């Protein structure tokens, strides 16, 4: 973290003719801030340090189109990480006025390994929905699917998982069968089926596909049994999630992984007449276990909420469980 701090105060900084050599350093710092514990320099708070870092990156990249897009994605990411989603949406609007996926996506991947702009734009669709801007959210979902999904290489399954998860969550939350079926088909075609074909060669994060796909299958099945229902029930009751998946999901999807698993189990438990009473009871127990883990992830000991959007999702699933358990 000290390297960029030193660069900012170095007298020779003004003599550097090609400042783009330090741009990947800013990007790496953002990744570190997202997934690792660190101590900011000069006794700064993490929010102030990351805010300053992102502002410097934006300033450094003026008039350099695709670098500016990456810098704005960094700035939006910092804002959302500290709960300032509305501010992040404003920055993403600015980024979208510059970003052209066909022109910039490949070069961003080459320069920064991942097209972070694409990730943030897709994530923002769910943010818009969460804040009641549903028409904008649906238009953005269409934009992601129609103009951004086609630029992603077929082998880039992690990127497809990252951008389609918030899109599909937004569609399913419409509570309309047509939207749920669209989400199911998108995820199956571009993420779930290719991940299954890749098998053990797929990135470890692709294991996240299964519970997400279960939610989509249940929401698009109209309550009827589907072909591999028993397999899905067995998977959810016997899975062994790696430790890192809980916070990774929170970082990229604004949802605790345990909450997603709770929803998948709850969806399966609601398939009355399709599964046995024993299976339904076991699934409800698993929901309770998952929601307890979610509470531990999302609520600090002093009661502070770690991520307001993820906590809202957790509260929604908890309420659904309570309604299911209440006598009519």
- Distance of alpha carbon 149 from alpha carbon 171, whole angstroms: 16
Q: What is the mean predicted confidence (pLDDT) over 6-16?
A: 48
Nearest CA among 142, 240, 156, 147 for reference residue 191: 156
pLDDT tens string 187-240: 999 999 999 999 888 999 999 999 999 999 999 998 888 989 999 999 999 999
Q: How many CB atoms lie within 10 A of CB 1?
A: 13
Residues 6+ apart with CB under 8 A from 294: 256, 258, 259, 262, 314
Side-chain half-sphere of 7: how many Cα atoms within 13 Å?
Answer: 16
Q: pLDDT-derived band of residue 100, with 50, 70 and 90 as boundaries?
A: very high
- Distance of alpha carbon 207 from alpha carbon 220, whole angstroms: 21
Q: pLDDT-derived band of residue 325, with 50, 70 and 90 as boundaries?
A: low
Average pLDDT score over the chain: 90
For residue 326, the model assigns a pLDDT of 58
Q: What is the mean predicted confidence (pLDDT) over 9-36?
A: 67
Q: Which two tokens stand for residue 178?
A: 């047509």
For residue 222, the model assigns a pLDDT of 84
Q: pLDDT-derived band of residue 6, with 50, 70 and 90 as boundaries?
A: very low
Q: What is the mean predicted confidence (pLDDT) over 242-259?
A: 95
pLDDT tens string 270-317: 987 778 889 999 999 999 999 999 999 999 999 999 999 999 999 999
pLDDT tens string 42-57: 888 988 989 999 999 8
Q: What is the mean predicted confidence (pLDDT) over 124-142?
A: 98
- Provide the β-strand partners of residue 272: 275
Backbone angles phi, psi at 222, to 5 degrees: 60, 30
pTM: 0.90
Instruction: Check the CA dihedral 63-64-65-70 and report its sign.
Output: negative
- CB 109 within 8 Å of CB 162: no
Q: What is the mean predicted confidence (pLDDT) over 147-159?
A: 95
- CB 112 within 8 Å of CB 74: no
Buried b (16+ CB within 10 A) or exposed e, 60-82: bbeeeebbbbbbbbbbbbbbbbb
Distances (CA, A) of 304 to 18, 296, 300: 44, 11, 5
- Distance of alpha carbon 261 from alpha carbon 318, whole angstroms: 12
- Distance of alpha carbon 192 from alpha carbon 185, whole angstroms: 10
Block residue for tokens 């804040």 = 131
Backbone angles phi, psi at 272, to 5 degrees: -60, 140
* pLDDT surpasses 60 at 9: no
- CB 259 within 8 Å of CB 290: yes
Query: How many residues in the chain?
Result: 328
Q: Report helix, strand or coil for 260.
A: helix
Q: What is the mean predicted confidence (pLDDT) over 91-98?
A: 97
Q: Report helix, strand or coil for 299.
A: strand
- Distance of alpha carbon 296 from alpha carbon 240, whole angstroms: 18
């Amino acid at each position: 973290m000290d390297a960029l701090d030193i660069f900012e105060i170095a007298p020779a900084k003004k003599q550097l003719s090609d400042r783009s050599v330090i741009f990947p350093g800013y990007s790496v710092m953002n990744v570190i801030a997202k997934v690792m514990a660190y101590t900011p320099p000069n006794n700064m708070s993490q929010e102030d340090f990351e805010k300053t870092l992102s502002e410097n990156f934006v300033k450094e990249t003026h008039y350099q189109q695709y670098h500016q897009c990456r810098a704005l994605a960094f700035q939006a990411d910092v804002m959302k990480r500290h709960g300032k989603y509305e501010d992040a949406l404003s920055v993403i609007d600015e980024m979208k006025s510059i970003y052209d996926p066909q022109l910039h996506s490949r070069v961003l991947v080459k320069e920064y390994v991942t097209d972070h702009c694409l990730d943030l734009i897709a994530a923002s669709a769910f943010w818009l929905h969460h804040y009641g801007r549903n028409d904008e959210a649906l238009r953005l979902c269409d934009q992601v699917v129609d103009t951004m999904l086609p630029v992603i290489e077929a082998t880039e399954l992690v990127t497809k998982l990252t951008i389609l998860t918030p899109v599909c969550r937004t569609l399913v939350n419409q509570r309309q069968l047509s939207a749920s079926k669209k989400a199911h088909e998108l995820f199956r075609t571009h993420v779930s089926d290719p991940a299954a074909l890749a098998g053990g060669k797929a990135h470890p994060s692709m294991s996240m596909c299964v519970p997400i796909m279960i939610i989509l299958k249940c929401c698009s099945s109209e309550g009827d049994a589907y072909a591999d229902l028993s397999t899905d029930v067995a998977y959810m009751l016997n899975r062994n999630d790696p430790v890192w998946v809980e916070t990774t999901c929170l970082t990229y999807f604004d949802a605790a992984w345990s909450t997603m698993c709770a929803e998948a189990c709850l969806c399966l438990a609601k398939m009355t007449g399709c599964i046995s009473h024993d299976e339904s009871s076991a699934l409800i127990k698993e929901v309770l276990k998952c929601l307890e883990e979610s509470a531990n992830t999302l609520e600090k000991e002093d009661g502070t909420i770690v991520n307001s959007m993820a906590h809202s999702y957790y509260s929604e699933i908890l309420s659904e469980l309570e309604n299911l358990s209440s006598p009519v």
